[in-house]
Structure 1
Amino acid sequence: MAKKNHRILVVDDEQDLCEILKFNLETEGYEVETAGSAEEALTLDLTSFDLLLLDVMMGEMSGFALARKLKSEESTKDIPIIFLTARDTENDTVTGFNLGADDYISKPFSIREVLVRVRAVLRRTADSQGQSQPSVLKYQGLELNLDNKTVSIDGEQVPFTKTEFELLRTLLEEKGRVFSRQELINRIWPQDVLVLDRTVDVNITRLRKKIGRFSKCIITRLGFGYFFDA
């Protein structure tokens, strides 16, 4: 999930794809800039970005060449990279990972897949830098233990399904932020499962019943979605 306004740079010579990725990543809460070539990317302050999405096949300077340059410089060598490419061969994949890529996504891809991969890479990066998420999320007497996946209210453990747990976790981790139904679907349900908006509403209703006096904290913002009001 987007935390601390992670900044992402998308480098791709397909302008339409840049705009699609920018829109969807910003919807998830990230700050996003785009560049139409590796050369344009090098004019930016790359050290200000937390993640780079690089197309492999671009103009004079390829994504591989850009990554090789960045990994050779002290100031940029630790920036995580995800390659986006239409080239789906084993050699290309091996080349990408040998260059220090954190992930490799073949075109055509679903936006949902990109969002999942981005979250995973940013989470791994945070963990490796000692910035892992706390093992317990707490709001007054409402407590989620992220290690053993339990929920307790005023010291009493309450049974939760995996979906209910992840819904509450998402809302608690970013208190005050309104999540649309589609954002919640993208974050919580498996990619290969068809989920309707109504399914989200039903699970929110169940969640409210289970958290008792804290049910009033889960607010419906009509036309937008849900948020946890602390």
Structure 2
Amino acid sequence: MNDNRILVVDDEEDLCEILKFNLENEGFEVDTANSAEEALKLNISSYDLLLLDVMMGEISGFKMANILKKDKKTAQIPIIFITAKDTENDTITGFNLGADDYISKPFSIREVISRVKAVIRRTGNATAKESSEQIIYKGLVLDISKKKVSIDEHEISLTKKEFEILLLLLQNKGRVFSREDILSKIWSDEVYVLDRTIDVNITRLRKKIGEYGKQIVTRLGYGYCFESE
């Protein structure tokens, strides 16, 4: 199985299951949702591509795409619209919203698979590059290249050491680092640093990242780790 995750959003449950079955046979990891409302409750930023039906309930596929494109965490996720509407105006609307492709019903499964693979190939390099420069945990975003941390798009101020500690823990979620590990990696160029310095920086960091502070867990006798829920 490859690492690409796809979310299929369509109010036709049978169609969702058919697409899920066939795409999983091609090695993709696939989730489904039967409405935009249901889909928007998921962690959309974790998907590599969306197959999105246009004609749904209160929130149409076009409206959902517009919501996602306005959010920095989901703006770059490729979208393929699937719809029974194939007029020129609808196609133009879809592409103006940032769609990467547009498939009209009825379609063949082979066509869908071919287009999905083409879009992932085309967008994969850019997505990988961006992912390598950012570490995202829910609303917490650490930008490695810009040396910035934001929560729900609001930048927070961290010292250099606090930033480096958070980067170390986020890059290794679930791994416990002893004080000695953290000292050697973050304070490697300094002659003498007390263990207490680590504790003080961790305490300040927890406060600054608010609700995510509880994810930095103390393992008594061992050290610290960033624990995902």
Q: Shorter-normalised TM-score: what interval?
A: 0.5 to 0.7
**What does residue 34 of structure 2 align with?**
36
**What does residue 139 of structure 2 align with?**
none
Letter matched to residue 6 of structure 2: I
**What does residue 105 of structure 1 align with?**
103
Identity %: 71
**What does residue 169 of structure 1 align with?**
none
How many Å separate the matches in 2 of 1:30 and 1:126?
14
Tell me the alpha carbon deviations over residues 46-92 of structure 1, each in whole angstroms, 9 at most, x when there is no partner: 01100000000001110000000000010000000000000010000
How many Å separate the matches in 2 of 1:115 and 1:129?
20
Letter matched to residue 81 of structure 1: I
How many Å separate the matches in 2 of 1:105 and 1:42?
22
Does residue 119 in structure 1 map to residue 82 in structure 2? no
Which runs of structure 2 are paired with 1:79-98 in the superposition (5 Å)? Answer: 79-98=77-96
Structure 1: 5+ residue runs without aligned partners?
132-230
How many Å separate the matches in 2 of 1:80 and 1:44?
16
Does residue 14 in structure 1 map to residue 28 in structure 2? no
Which runs of structure 2 are paired with 1:183-222 in the superposition (5 Å)? Answer: none
1:109 alignment partner, SS class: coil
How many Å separate the matches in 1 of 2:62 and 2:90?
9
1:9 alignment partner, SS class: strand
How many Å separate the matches in 2 of 1:114 and 1:129?
21
**What does residue 49 of structure 2 align with?**
51
Structure 2: 5+ residue runs without aligned partners?
130-229
Does the CA contact (< 8 Å) of 2:76 and 2:127 recur in 1? no
How many Å separate the matches in 2 of 1:19 and 1:13?
11
Tell me the alpha carbon deviations over residues 75-110 of structure 1, each in whole angstroms, 9 at most, x when there is no partner: 000000000000010000000000000000000000
Letter matched to residue 79 of structure 1: I
How many Å separate the matches in 2 of 1:115 and 1:15?
19
Which runs of structure 2 are paired with 1:157-196 in the superposition (5 Å)? Answer: none
**What does residue 175 of structure 1 align with?**
none
Q: Could you tell me the TM-score, scaled by structure 2's length? A: 0.55
How many Å separate the matches in 1 of 2:127 and 2:43?
21
1:10 alignment partner, SS class: strand
How many Å separate the matches in 1 of 2:108 and 2:56?
21
Tell me the alpha carbon deviations over residues 13-58 of structure 1, each in whole angstroms, 9 at most, x when there is no partner: 0000000000000000000000000000001000110000000000
2:73 pairs, out of 64, 72, 75, with 75
**Residue 126 (structure 1) shift:** 1.6
**Residue 130 (structure 1) shift:** 6.5
Q: Count the aligned residue pairs.
A: 129
How many Å separate the matches in 2 of 1:86 and 1:19?
18
1:8 alignment partner, SS class: strand
How many Å separate the matches in 2 of 1:74 and 1:130?
16
2:58 pairs, out of 57, 60, 67, with 60
**Residue 129 (structure 1) shift:** 4.4
CA RMSD in angstroms comes to 1.2
How many Å separate the matches in 2 of 1:76 and 1:130?
14
Does the CA contact (< 8 Å) of 2:47 and 2:77 recur in 1? yes
